[in-house]
Structure 1
Amino acid sequence: MLYNTLSTLGMSRRLQTTMTQLQMDMVRANEELSTGVHADVSATIGARTGRDIALRNLFDRTEEYLKTTALLDGRMGTMDSAMTSILTAGTDLLATASTGLGQQAPTGVSLQNKAKATLDQIVGMLNAASGNAYLFAGTAVEGPPMRAVDGDKSGLPSPMQIVRDAITAATGGSAMPTTAAQTAAVIATLDNLFAVRDPATAAPAPLTDTYEGGFYTGTTAMQAGGAASPRITGRPADATSVAYGVQANDQTFRDLLQGAYMLAAVDTSTMEPAAYKDYIEEAVSKMSKGLGDLRQATALLGIQRNQIAAVTEQHQTQKTILNLQIDNLEGVDYAEASTRISHLEAQIDATASATARIAKMHLTNYL
């Protein structure tokens, strides 16, 4: 005679395994419903996993470029603001100085004080920073590029003292030129002081200091040997490079500062008439040229900012497209996920009910 055996222990274990699997499936389904992404993307999309990885890599690179363009735009915005302020201050000083071109002004000390205040303002703007980077220092972004007009704790002569020493050396001992010949000598000496030169060469006599080192401490215009130093550039895209590095030792600032220092170093109202005319004309001419070049540099910076804005828009568009493509591969159909959860809930309820019935089964019920 054959007997059918009934093992409640075996059935309970099988139901327990089924319940565990159903609960894990329920957790994954709820996770997919909340995140909108398959819990195991590679298992779900199969052979398309390679394309998904490539899209993800491109998406991440696009995000990094967006961070770069945001950083570049922020730096350029700060530079633009500083250069605009320098233009405003320089133009105001130039207008005041220009009134003395026709006739020697009796209030030269007021012009001298105004020039000193303008220099302080310009130097402060050229020491502008964005984050931990000084914007007008070239590649030497870790420190302010300009020394204070009245000097610092370095032990070096102050920039103002350097200019006054140069004037004294050119005149043979006088604090200001007294003849046209002395004015010409002073102008030639100051031209040498503010000139671009190989940093490996010594300052020409009678100078002992140069603009780079005495006034400016950032990246030199030339490397030792005379080759141009690298400029700051930004790379907002794979095939796009923007050389936006305006430096405080560019010729535009050398000219502007030379004219302003000429006005701040002496009281022009006390100069001899023979020396005054050429001196004030040279100061005004240097400032005018520097401000004209600065306007062009500011306009170029504006063009570069527009270029960055256009690249940023391209990246944002690409990011949107990539996000849609990735979502098509990794994304969950919410209706399908909801239906699957409903089925799982029904299966879990049925399994739990069966488990409860088995738990109530006793051998005595069948004797």
Structure 2
Amino acid sequence: MGCFAFKSGKSRRSKRQKAVGAPGSDSGGQKSKASSASTPSRSIQELSEERGAQRLRVFDLEELSSATNGFSRSLKLGEGGFGSVYRAFFRSAAGGRVVLAVKRLNQRSRQGHKQWLAEVQFLGVLEHPNLVKLIGYCAVDSEASNDRLLVYEFMPNKTLDDHLFNRAHPPLPWRTRLQIMIGAARGLDYLHEGVPEVQDLIDALLASQVIYRDFKAANILLDSEFKPKLSDFGLAREGPTEGKTHVSTAVVGTHGYAAPDYIETGHLTVKSDVWSFGVVLYEILTGRRSLDRNRPPEEQKLLGWVRRHPPDGQSFRTIMDPRLGGRYPPAAAREVARLADRCLVKNPKERPAMRDVVDDLEKVLQMEPPPPADKKKEGDGNKPAFPSSAKR
């Protein structure tokens, strides 16, 4: 299995290897006209030339092939619209083993270079405990193929989607579900509003929000302690510029999660993400996918089904995930459903901001005391409980 010395900083580029270019360009080398750190209106793409160049490593294709044992099927973690993801083994400067994840673009992928470039640009600039960390990238053009790869931190517990819907995994306990959604909400809040901890980016982020555009359980990765991190920024967009209320764009995303106002008009706002968050809240309550063709016709569309069992109704308990085994506070579950309903209102202006969503979920978490440190609560299995007061 290919292992090699993993060194910090950029590696030497091969003659065919390409650097990440400026926005709208497929090649590098041209400096942005707005590269001054004092300019608050710089875009994410422009900031990526400065900050991303310092943070990201440029990998050789040969290095990544070695680390994945020739992109072996035995090291394949999964496959999505972009391509396949592999476990990769590197050797640190101290001689220890480092495990990372390598995503390789499928040559037939419809997302292609544009989404690969967006991922590099956004994750080369943005930094938050609830966003997956991009280590580096690889771009090689040759007569035989055009290779595009991304190298991330490794997330050993896969995705929220896996743990909610794959019966091979034990059911997620109630508290763990809430803590995952709180972390995911913090990640969206950071994208939408910016955070004071990142002083050199705050002006730019406040001037131009980031809209995630593909929030779903499959894009919420879980680390060794089940802390969530948002991944897959290939569809992310910067928000409207000053004086505008929305971004007009082609409708993309995942069926079952996109806001109806976005689908109907192509008008994209941060409230489009809030709708998607509401869908996932109902997924963690019910243990059901947003769309499931294997269920009876009246139950295939999750939102249509749960609306027949409102939070204040007597039949509400019938929608709760049976894998929870009744081990959840009923009052807290109803509050989560009420919050989901606020996220899913038709008028996007009436949906809550993600900062308010974080606050509401933290209050719900406090409705049930944490399990004693010396005794795990029944039903919690081996899942850790991480504090709700963690840094946003």
TM over 0.5: no
Which structure has more relative contact order (CA 8 Å, sep 6+)? It is: 1
TM-score normalised over the length of structure 1? 0.23
Highest CA radius of gyration, 1 or 2? 1
TM-score (norm 2): 0.21
